């Protein structure tokens, strides 16, 4: 007989996650009930949010209140087949974009409702434009003022813009 209370690995997709509420749910690839994903578990992984539809590998445990994630192992950005292309980035080779260095930056402000915000690379005065689609394609749902992040940046028509955002912890790991 299998002991369901022992932590075990599981793969799935984020059903939804609300940073303001501090939790969300994952749907397991194997089916079953929704799995609670608490903000503290996500923060231990080094992120403050995760995009709806993102693929996740998590460690789960059965509790008296249901199945809960106790550790995040990996997050894959959601598939964005229907997302509009970003004009300044669409013409660039994805391999070239992935080869750009991850720059250490801090979020200046980000407004999810407006769909954009700005960050500053450490040591540079110029603001870096961050679009909501870049945030989503990076596997995140939102950014918080003062949050440390890694950015891949290109020169757009209206100035510097992020093409990828990752938590600073992930940038340090070289992912």
Q: Are 101 and 107 in contact (CB under 8 A)?
A: no
Task: Tell me which of 24, 57, 76 is where a domain ends.
Answer: 76
The CA dihedral of 62, 34, 76, 44, to the nearest 10 degrees, is: -50
Q: What confidence score (pLDDT) does residue 82 get? A: 47
DSSP annotation of 79 reads P
Do both 161 and 93 map to the same domain? yes
Which residue range is the domain that position 96 belongs to?
87-173
In a domain, 137, yes or no: yes
| Number of alpha helices (DSSP H) and beta strands (DSSP E) in the chain | 5, 10
* CATH number of the domain residue 67 falls in: 2.40.50.140
Q: What confidence score (pLDDT) does residue 128 get? A: 94
For each of the chain's 175 residues, which pLDDT tens digit applies?
455 578 899 999 999 988 888 899 999 999 889 999 999 999 888 888 888 888 999 999 998 888 999 999 998 887 754 444 456 555 566 777 778 888 899 999 999 888 899 999 988 888 999 998 888 888 888 898 999 999 999 988 888 999 989 877 776 665 5
pTM over 0.75: no
Q: Are 78 and 52 in contact (CB under 8 A)?
A: yes
Give the separation between CA 141 and CA 132, rounded to whole angstroms. 8
SS3 124: coil
Do both 97 and 157 map to the same domain? yes
In a domain, 1, yes or no: no
In a domain, 40, yes or no: yes
Do both 60 and 124 map to the same domain? no
Do both 92 and 65 map to the same domain? no
In a domain, 116, yes or no: yes
Task: Tell me which of 50, 76, 102 is where a domain ends.
Answer: 76
In a domain, 157, yes or no: yes
In a domain, 2, yes or no: no
Give the separation between CA 120 and CA 104, rounded to whole angstroms. 9
Q: What confidence score (pLDDT) does residue 34 get? A: 93
In a domain, 92, yes or no: yes
Do both 111 and 132 map to the same domain? yes
Task: Tell me which of 28, 57, 76 is where a domain ends.
Answer: 76
Q: Are 38 and 81 in contact (CB under 8 A)?
A: no
Give the separation between CA 135 and CA 60, rounded to whole angstroms. 26
β-strand pairing of 127-131 with 66-76: unpaired
């Amino acid at each position: 007989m299998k002991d369901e209370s022992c932590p075990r690995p599981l793969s799935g997709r984020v059903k939804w996650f609300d940073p303001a509420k501090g939790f969300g749910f994952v749907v397991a690839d194997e089916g079953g009930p929704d799995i609670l994903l608490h903000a503290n578990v996500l923060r231990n992984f080094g992120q403050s949010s995760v995009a709806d539809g993102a693929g996740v590998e998590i460690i789960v445990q059965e509790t008296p209140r249901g199945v809960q994630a106790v550790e995040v192992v990996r997050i894959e950005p959601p598939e964005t087949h229907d997302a509009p292309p970003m004009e300044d980035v669409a013409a660039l080779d994805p391999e070239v974009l992935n080869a750009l260095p991850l720059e250490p930056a801090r979020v200046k402000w980000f407004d999810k409702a407006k769909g954009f915000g700005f960050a500053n690379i450490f040591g540079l005065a110029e603001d870096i434009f961050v679009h909501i689609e870049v945030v989503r394609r990076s596997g995140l749902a939102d950014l918080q003022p003062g949050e440390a992040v890694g950015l891949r940046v290109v020169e757009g028509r209206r100035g510097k813009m992020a093409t990828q955002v990752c938590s600073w912890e992930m940038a340090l790991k070289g992912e």
